[in-house]
């Protein structure tokens, strides 16, 4: 039995033992075992493919495989056999993150082969190279070997994102230079096996991180956007509160030229759990991103259920009046059950919306010109509070799950002081809050216990006007 078959056998054996108190109803998660970064988001032969970093043997990070799921609409996902396993000399300690493209009718995976040169886990002694695997049917893959070695002196060299533009293949790779600065390196390819270094596309200044992981690079509207996940940025007030960050650098680029940035690195999501986002171009041309909805070195209570990790909802990126917005894709509306609508009303103290919520969408429009409250918002059980502080114009998402070691808060300033719209997706162990039509987003894992899933609105120190309030239960989207 080869390594790929062993991984699949382990996954098949663990899956029936999985418990589901926190297992999502409409977010992509592994059948069992560990999941982290999304890899190889691609549209191929009429279906969307989502690959991901996967360890089928346990709920802990380990030698990385590539898990695989497919969908007709990016909402209803179907698990496929494991796509890649660490079974060659180049990737013996892990098939790390990468991307997927369609090349001459084949689906091609470009990924990082990882090896420990010393003790396992010692990041000061590693070798990382870029590798290729191909498939005719999009399910079974054949490895084609190493296609790119790191530059001299660089060990941390991973997470290739590949695309075709201006008659050439292009690849961005995350790196750490000899001065311990994060970089994104750009390569040009005549084919998927013939690459030439083009330039350092971007690199960290002091305080901007020692490693820039999981880069993505694309045009949208009038700009190019460099998407990356820096490691090593210190918290600054309400910014950069997570261990590692993920965000966007805005600028301009054309093939053969430098990337000129116009706006410094800006976080994409202000919640507790958002890392390594990757984009895909939908069949109709929309730019969609998905990310890992967990965070390194944080408690992960789902391990006790035999699984760990999930993705955010797919989000459409748009540029409007020079600003980047994120909105849940419209296909998610197909999950809505029979909804409830509350007429405009004045909220005083507390209102019960649902006795128990597991999978739901809530749309709220607050009138900030008719508010005497000092704070107002939404609660799920005793552990989750989403609260807007009126005087500070800040929205906070606070978790209080002390038995799980999770007592913390994230905050973001809201620019509009006259009205505010929330679109909220609640799953068994997550919440995603889209503010003012995608102006800002907060994504966090939550862990309410059985019997502690009441959904309430609240007002403190006065009242607030609710213009519109819709609630939809959401159907399951995962097989």
Question: Last residue of a domain, which of 331, 346, 372?
Answer: 331
Catalytic residue among 12, 37, 93, 452: 37
DSSP string, 451-464: T---EEEEEEEEEE
Distance of CA 87 to the CA centre of its chain: 27
Tell me whether residue 36 is in a domain. Answer: yes
Eight-class DSSP state of 64? B
CATH number at residue 64: 2.115.10.20
Verify that 260 and 349 share a domain, yes or no: no
SS (H, E, C) 281-332: ECCCCCEEEEEECCCCCCCCHHHHHCEECCECCCEEEEEECCEEEEEECHHH
Residue 124 lies in a domain: yes
Handedness of CA 277, 283, 285, 286 (dihedral sign): negative
Q: Could you tell me if 304 and 359 lie in one domain?
A: no
- Indicate whether 362 and 316 sit together in one domain: no
Residues 463 and 419 in one domain: yes
| Residue whose tokens read 């609260």 | 387
> Do 282 and 408 fall into the same domain?
no
Secondary structure (3-state) at 13: helix
416 found inside a domain: yes
What does pLDDT average to over the chain?
96
Q: Which residues contact 113 (CB under 8 A, 6 or more apart)?
A: 88, 90, 91, 92, 94, 95, 96, 128, 129, 130, 131, 146
Distance CA 315, CA 182 (A): 27
What number of H helices and E strands is found in the chain? 1, 32
pLDDT tens digits for 148-179?
A: 999 999 999 999 999 999 999 999 999 999 99
Q: What is the pLDDT of residue 269?
A: 98
Residues 6 or more apart whose Cβ sits within 8 Å of residue 236: none
Q: Same structural domain for residues 356 and 326?
A: no
What is the Cβ-side half-sphere exposure of residue 436, based on CA atoms within 13 angstroms? 17
Tell whether the model's pLDDT for residue 84 goes beyond 80. Answer: yes
- For the segment 303-327, the average pLDDT, to the nearest whole number, is 96
Q: Are residues 71 and 169 in the same domain?
A: yes
d(CA 99, CA 163): 9
CATH code assigned at 415:
2.60.120.560
Pairing type for strands 360-371 and 419-427 reads antiparallel
Per-residue pLDDT at 284 exceeds 80: yes
Contacts of 10 (CB under 8 A, 6+ apart): 33, 56, 57
Specify whether 258 is catalytic: no
Q: 192, 316, 188, 160: which is closest to 254 by C-alpha?
A: 188
Q: Where are the beta strands (DSSP E) in 149-210?
A: 157-165, 168-176, 182-191, 194-203
Q: What is the DSSP letter of 284?
A: T
Based on the domain organization, do 17 and 134 belong to the same domain? yes
For the chain, the domain total comes to: 2
Asked if residue 441 and residue 383 are part of one domain, the reply reads: yes
Establish if 104 belongs to a structural domain: yes
- Phi, psi of 327, deg, nearest 5: -130, 145
Q: What is the largest CA-CA distance in the chain?
A: 68
Within a domain: 309: yes
Residue 479 forms part of a structural domain: no
| Residue pointed to by tokens 């748009």 | 318
Q: What is the pLDDT of residue 472?
A: 98
pLDDT above 80 (res 416): no
High-pLDDT (> 70) share of the chain, %: 100
Q: Which domain holds residue 343?
A: 337-473
Paired tokens of 47:
């279906």
Residue 478 located in a structural domain: no
Is 246 inside a domain boundary?
Answer: yes
**Mind listing the pLDDT tens digit for each residue in 181-215?**
999 999 999 999 999 999 999 999 999 999 999 99
184-188, 327-331, 369-373, 417-421: lowest mean pLDDT where?
417-421
Q: What is the pTM of this model?
A: 0.97
416 φ, ψ to 5°?
Answer: -80, 120
| pLDDT at residue 304 greater than cutoff 80 | yes
Looking at the structure, do residues 368 and 326 belong to the same domain, yes or no?
no
Same domain, residue pair 325 and 383: no
Q: What is the mean pLDDT of residues 5-30?
A: 98
In degrees rounded to 5, what are phi and psi of residue 336? -65, 130
Which residue, of 331, 366, 381, is where some domain finishes?
Answer: 331
User: Among the three residues 308, 331, 354, which one is the final residue of a domain in this structure?
Assistant: 331
When pLDDT is cut at 50, 70 and 90, the band that residue 419 belongs to is confident
**Do residues 62 and 12 share a domain?**
yes
């Amino acid at each position: 039995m080869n390594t790929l078959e062993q991984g699949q056998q382990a996954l098949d054996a663990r899956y029936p033992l999985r418990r589901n108190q926190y297992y999502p109803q409409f977010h992509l998660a592994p059948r069992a075992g560990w999941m982290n970064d999304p890899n190889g988001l691609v549209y191929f032969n009429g279906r969307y493919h989502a690959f991901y970093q996967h360890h089928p043997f346990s709920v802990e990070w380990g030698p990385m495989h590539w898990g695989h799921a497919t969908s007709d609409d990016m909402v209803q996902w179907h698990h496929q056999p494991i796509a890649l396993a660490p079974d060659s000399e180049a990737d013996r300690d892990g098939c790390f993150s990468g991307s997927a493209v369609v090349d001459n009718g084949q689906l091609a995976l470009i990924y990082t082969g990882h090896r420990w040169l010393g003790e396992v886990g010692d990041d000061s002694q590693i070798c990382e190279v870029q590798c290729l695997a191909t498939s005719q049917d999009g399910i079974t893959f054949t490895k084609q070997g190493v296609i790119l070695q790191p530059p001299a002196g660089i060990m941390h060299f991973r997470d290739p994102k590949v695309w075709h533009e201006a008659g050439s293949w292009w690849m961005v790779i995350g790196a750490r230079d000899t001065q311990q600065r994060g970089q994104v390196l750009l390569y040009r390819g005549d084919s998927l096996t013939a690459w030439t270094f083009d330039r350092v596309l971007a690199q960290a200044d002091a305080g901007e991180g020692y490693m820039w992981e999981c880069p993505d690079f694309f045009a949208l509207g009038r700009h190019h956007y460099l998407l990356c996940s820096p490691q090593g940025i210190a918290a600054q007030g309400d910014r950069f509160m997570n261990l590692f960050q993920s965000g966007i650098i805005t600028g301009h680029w054309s093939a053969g030229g430098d990337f000129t940035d116009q706006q410094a690195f800006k976080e994409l999501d202000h919640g507790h759990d958002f890392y390594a986002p990757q984009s895909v171009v939908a069949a109709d041309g929309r730019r969609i991103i998905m990310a890992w909805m967990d965070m390194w070195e944080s408690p992960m209570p789902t391990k006790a259920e035999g699984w760990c990790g999930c993705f955010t909802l797919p989000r459409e990126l748009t540029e409007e009046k020079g600003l980047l917005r994120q909105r849940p894709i419209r296909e998610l509306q197909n999950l809505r059950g029979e909804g409830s609508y509350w007429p405009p009303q004045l909220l005083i103290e507390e209102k019960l919306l649902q006795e128990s919520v597991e999978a739901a969408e809530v749309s709220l429009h607050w009138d900030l010109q008719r508010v005497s409250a000092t704070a107002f918002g939404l609660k799920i059980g005793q552990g989750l509070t989403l609260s807007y502080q009126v005087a500070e114009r800040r929205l906070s998402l606070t978790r209080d799950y002390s038995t799980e070691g999770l007592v913390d808060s994230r905050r973001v300033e809201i620019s509009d002081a006259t009205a505010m719209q929330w679109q909220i997706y609640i799953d068994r162990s997550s919440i995603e809050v889209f503010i003012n039509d995608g102006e800002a987003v907060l994504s966090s894992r939550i862990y309410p216990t059985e019997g502690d899933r009441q959904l309430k609105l609240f007002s403190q120190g006065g009242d607030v006007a609710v213009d519109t309030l819709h609630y939809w239960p959401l159907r399951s989207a995962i097989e």
